[in-house]
Structure 1
């Protein structure tokens, strides 16, 4: 993957990388935690397909959507939320795996001189331990979860605040994600955006989200394609 343009180093300053569906396949963690919660509430389980279509908008949305999916009373949300926090803390990282090419891709971005941030809608208290468990934490200057700011992706606020933390300008900060949430947030923030093709894009192809490029692996990223 060439990381230099014809006139020398490329002018990106930083990259913001999503977590679930972009760096780590976490559907197994969600499946184990959600179905443990549903079992305690005497509710039927959900399948992986539902989870893949639903994750990415924060834990609150996931829990509410799961209760609706199994036909449960929405009033169970506070109890389900509390149980989910307990179970996910235990399951976090146990049933997940880093996607092929991610570690290599992060090394290449670092070698190109970019500061890296992890920005996810997953709660920060779950994001940080997962990065540690998968050996990815050392790549990132900052890590922000969905509870770090007043609004979550697809709102541009998290990207703008992350750029401030990195000391980079949005136009020179690449967003790498897996869904329309990432693409919409990047466009609104003024960041270039690349999506991976294998993630959780709410059941839609990544190619339909309007990114600057779609890649099959993180280590296949050619930074010239977004500048």
Structure 2
């Protein structure tokens, strides 16, 4: 059945601690990429949760007294993607996809009204490797998403994804038909500031209560209740739960 553009909903999936866990592998590859492009080991670790890759890199440079530049960011981005492409097998064996993630993405892909893509602080190349490594890349439209190399501010990724998806699917995506699925209070704040609503899952560091306190419209313990999740994403279940 054909879907009228006005009926479409944009679903923006976060990756880390929402769909997968790298279990420390991401930190290891980040350290290797940083050392390769700067010649320095990381001595001062910054908080990465819910932030974009370039924001993390920029603060790490600052903590080490290194002046950031566009050229250095490009070198780092290319090296980090190379690290992930080289270590895809180790990532797969060391990390895991989170319970319910595969079923949730597959179920969303079966619903014609939903446009599934990603909104992540990861660089695009890293996002593709991560989802591909865990067999989760087949049900998202990477071309419609937004990534950490699009803008260092996570909230500004929301309108980027809305514009890209709108162009691809002939729909105007706004707060009323854009849902972010993420696991951190930063995801909640970015969703609201950027122009969307959020389904928060307590699969990362933040608890259900912390996610509610941050203002999440819906909070779930994880992604395992596929029917409930699809009801929320399609608007068949209210947004306050």
Normalised-by-shorter TM-score class: 0.7 to 0.9
Please give the residue correspondences for 1:109-128 in structure 2 after superposition, counting only pairs within 5 Å. 109-113=108-112, 114-128=114-128
In the alignment, structure 2 segments of 5+ residues that lack a partner are 1-6
1:160 match = 162
Q: Are 2:53 and 1:59 aligned? A: yes
Question: 1:85, 1:136 → 2: CA distance?
Answer: 18
Residues 102 and 218, structure 1, Cα contact 8 Å, conserved in 2:
yes
Shift of 1:177: 1.4
Write out per-residue CA displacement over residues 96-116 of structure 1, whole angstroms, 9 at most, x where no aligned residue: 321111111222323343221
Residues 184 and 204, structure 2, Cα contact 8 Å, conserved in 1:
yes
Shift of the 186–39 alpha-carbon distance from structure 1 to 2, 3 Å rule, reads: closer
Q: Are 2:86 and 1:73 aligned? A: no
Shift of 1:151: 6.2
1:90 match = 86
In the alignment, structure 1 segments of 5+ residues that lack a partner are 1-10
Residues 8 and 177, structure 2, Cα contact 8 Å, conserved in 1:
yes
Shift of the 219–107 alpha-carbon distance from structure 1 to 2, 3 Å rule, reads: farther
1:24 match = 20
Shift of the 137–38 alpha-carbon distance from structure 1 to 2, 3 Å rule, reads: closer
Paired residue secondary structure (2:25): helix
Please give the residue correspondences for 1:8-47 in structure 2 after superposition, counting only pairs within 5 Å. 13-37=9-33, 41=39, 43=41
2:187 match = 182
Question: 1:185, 1:145 → 2: CA distance?
Answer: 13
Please give the residue correspondences for 1:194-205 in structure 2 after superposition, counting only pairs within 5 Å. 194-199=199-204, 205=210
Shift of the 138–84 alpha-carbon distance from structure 1 to 2, 3 Å rule, reads: closer
Shift of 1:123: 1.1
Taking structure 2 as the reference length, the TM-score comes to 0.69
Write out per-residue CA displacement over residues 72-97 of structure 1, whole angstroms, 9 at most, x where no aligned residue: 22248839836545434433534432
Taking structure 1 as the reference length, the TM-score comes to 0.73
Residues 117 and 162, structure 1, Cα contact 8 Å, conserved in 2:
no
Relative contact order (alpha carbons < 8 A, sep ≥ 6): 1 or 2 greater? Answer: 1
Question: 2:50, 2:87 → 1: CA distance?
Answer: 18
2:138 match = 138
Shift of 1:200: 5.5
Residues 17 and 116, structure 1, Cα contact 8 Å, conserved in 2:
yes
Residues 26 and 97, structure 1, Cα contact 8 Å, conserved in 2:
yes
Question: 1:14, 1:38 → 2: CA distance?
Answer: 34
Question: 2:141, 2:79 → 1: CA distance?
Answer: 32
Paired residue secondary structure (2:199): strand
